[in-house]
Chain A
């Protein structure tokens, strides 16, 4: 799937994460800002890359500002951002969500 335009999801409040997805042309570029980068940076990046792969998104710029979100929150916010950025808000991808 292709990113059609920039989209945002999530907030900057505690235990949440804010994603901004925009068009890219050199693979998946993740720019992560997190206070728990040292402890969980690798895990957060894995959740992001795995989910993007499931959606078949190959080129994208991901800006993530993490405020200590759990994996399920990260997934939920990223799915929202993906669906907004790909104009598929009304066509949930059940296989990924299942």
Chain B
């Protein structure tokens, strides 16, 4: 029998935890679970799987039921459950030894390495994403991936440098609405702040560029080894997209403050070359002061527009000034 499991109920949680841990899975954070389902036989939990948004996770099957139809039933139940929420494009992040089992159920591999694999299934795919992106001609095509939360003079500097050294630059915007500035706002501010540059294209990074799917620890604090293999997968996904678009260089900003981003940059240095060159640029400073979006958000939260002004272009400043009440409310509400 398949049913949803309420993990807030200690009785069910304990059963679930036992199965998960006996299968060697590490429970990171219950907040990153939208729904959990379980398969029972005679009131014994024999299989479980969860999802967060459209990502399957915490799949575990009692050893006595592995290798049979239970896995198919489990994945199938999860897919059907997601369909009732109108979610049809589904990802799974798993160990390489389970890759084949998922492929057998119609999943396609997006990227894989020795430690992990990322697969997807449903009504959308990475190939479709690539097909929908604007195509350009040129010898030196580069890319930047940014969250721009919000767009600062530092981001502007990075794009400018790339623009001067390339025939064309793709600016991929991280598509995850867990930031203070919404996706549409971040995109708009980048576009407005780079209007004078003719050889750049600002595009949505979709679910393939630093998203909850490819890189959850960018958004959730994680252990270092988790960050390691996630960054490796994310870099591989990027490389796949880059090669399809003939991108030969990726520009990133040096990251003196965030350990996650530091590891990310190191991983990319290992994964991307020789096909895609990585250029790490020093952070832009005003005076002695390194520009960062974190500082801008802090200044917003302090309602300190004078400080905001130091770090951002006119276009971003105007937006913040006009929307300061909305932004303060979002900070207050924890969004």
| Contact A12–B106 (Cβ < 8 Å) | yes
The closest CB in chain A to the CB of B83 belongs to A8
| Contact B75–A12 (Cβ < 8 Å) | yes
Q: Kindly list chain A residues whose C-beta atoms are within 8 Å of the C-beta of B80.
A: 8, 11
Near B by CB (< 8 A), chain A positions 22-43 give 22, 33
Q: Kindly list chain B residues whose C-beta atoms are within 8 Å of the C-beta of A8.
A: 79-80, 83, 88
- Beta-carbon contacts of B84-116 to A below 8 Å, as 1s and 0s? 001010000000000000000110000000000
Which residues of chain B have a CB within 8 Å of any CB of chain A? 69, 72-73, 75-77, 79-80, 83, 86, 88, 105-106, 121-123
Q: Kindly list chain A residues whose C-beta atoms are within 8 Å of the C-beta of B77.
A: 11
| Contact A33–B106 (Cβ < 8 Å) | yes
| Contact A12–B88 (Cβ < 8 Å) | no
Beyond the given pairs A11-B80, A20-B88, A63-B122, 20 more chain A to chain B contacts, judged by CB atoms under 8 angstroms and listed by A's residue number, are A5-B86, A8-B80, A8-B83, A8-B88, A11-B73, A11-B77, A12-B73, A12-B75, A12-B76, A12-B79, A13-B69, A13-B72, A14-B69, A18-B106, A20-B122, A20-B123, A22-B88, A33-B106, A61-B123, A67-B72
| Contact B72–A14 (Cβ < 8 Å) | yes
| Contact B122–A12 (Cβ < 8 Å) | no
| Contact B106–A65 (Cβ < 8 Å) | yes
A-B contacts, 18 of them at CB < 8 A, read A6-B123, A7-B83, A8-B80, A8-B88, A11-B72, A12-B72, A13-B72, A13-B73, A13-B76, A14-B69, A14-B72, A18-B106, A20-B122, A61-B123, A63-B122, A63-B123, A65-B105, A65-B121
Residue of B69, B75, B77, B83 contacting most chain A CB atoms (<10 Å): B83
CB A78 to nearest CB in B, in angstroms, measures: 15
Q: Kindly list chain A residues whose C-beta atoms are within 8 Å of the C-beta of B86.
A: 5-6
Size category of the A interface is: 10 to 19
Q: Kindly list chain A residues whose C-beta atoms are within 8 Å of the C-beta of B75.
A: 12
Assembled-state Cα–Cα distance A7/B123 (Å): 9
Q: Kindly list chain A residues whose C-beta atoms are within 8 Å of the C-beta of B122.
A: 20, 63
The closest CB in chain A to the CB of B105 belongs to A12
Assembled-state Cα–Cα distance A13/B2 (Å): 13
CB B127 to nearest CB in A, in angstroms, measures: 11
Assembled-state Cα–Cα distance A71/B77 (Å): 23
Assembled-state Cα–Cα distance A7/B79 (Å): 11
The closest CB in chain A to the CB of B108 belongs to A33
Q: Kindly list chain A residues whose C-beta atoms are within 8 Å of the C-beta of B83.
A: 7-8
Assembled-state Cα–Cα distance A20/B72 (Å): 17
Q: Nearest 10 CB-CB pairs, A to B?
A: A65-B106, A12-B76, A22-B123, A8-B83, A11-B76, A6-B88, A33-B106, A12-B72, A6-B123, A12-B105
Q: Kindly list chain A residues whose C-beta atoms are within 8 Å of the C-beta of B88.
A: 6, 8, 20, 22
Residue of B69, B77, B79 contacting most chain A CB atoms (<10 Å): B79
Q: Kindly list chain A residues whose C-beta atoms are within 8 Å of the C-beta of B76.
A: 11-13, 18
The closest CB in chain A to the CB of B72 belongs to A12
CB A94 to nearest CB in B, in angstroms, measures: 26
